Structure 1
Amino acid sequence: MIAVSACLAGIACRYDGTAFVCPELAAMMETGQAIAVCPEVLGGLTIPRPPAEIQTGRVVTIDGQDVTEAYRRGALAALAIVREHGCDLAVLKARSPSCGAGQIYDGGFAGRLVAGNGFFAELLRQAGIPAYTEQEFKLRSGELPGRGKASIRKK
């Protein structure tokens, strides 16, 4: 089973109230090959919500509100769901303070990227569950790292 950022599966839960649909991942959801999680919503954050970035280990909104605890709660809740479903891989929304895997925004709200993981991606890493961005998934045209071609059945 694969864990997928809910916004990539077509659920409008991003900070701006939109989805960022990856059709291949949405199809995997429909066929029961993947589950969707949104750590930010699981942590109690609203849709929409102010943009947030990680600043020296804390998650802060563009208007200065510290929302670190909501991000921690959500990451832990999402990890519990991933474990409950036996997921052994995740495809996550790039650059997110929750789901960013390998690169996140630098905390200055200027669009600059730095090496690092969002809170949920980091928990997955610590748990030994590989996390990839949607770009990594798309670059492989539906091929999942370490799994070969994703079997996506059309209804």
Structure 2
Amino acid sequence: MFGNKKSNTGLTFVAQGTKLSGESHFAGEALIGGEMYGKVSSTGKITIETDGYVDGELNCDELKVSGNFKGKLKCKKLNITSTGTVEGEIACESMEIFEGGQFIGMRVREDIALLNTVSRDENSHVEPKSDIQGELQAN
């Protein structure tokens, strides 16, 4: 009675064959069986089912991947099942990969801001200096 508080947030289901692009926010748990492109966020758990595919930036409390994820991820807990593939830059507190699951990319335990810094550093380069003045003298 007093201790049984249920969340009023519902379950969102993106069915197989559905393609969504843009920015999506889920108030609770979400099951993704279709394809999503862009920014995805949730206050709860997101499950990418076996036929599901997400490409973009994902921010959630917990992510379970049985399908495919590609992009940048920030979550507290990541679970990659035996059929799941995660490719990209991951910022998470805990990560579990079952036998057969694949992780291709980089993981940090810090915030997603660090991932943005790393991406910028990889794309920057140093221009050689051509205006060096002076001469070398031999002893």
Common topology (TM > 0.5): no
Q: With a CA cutoff of 8 Å and minimum separation of 6, indicate the structure with the bigger relative contact order.
A: 1
**Which structure shows the bigger proportion of residues in helix conformation?**
1
Q: Which has the higher strand share?
A: 2
TM-score by length of 1: 0.28
Question: TM-score, length-normalised on structure 2?
Answer: 0.31
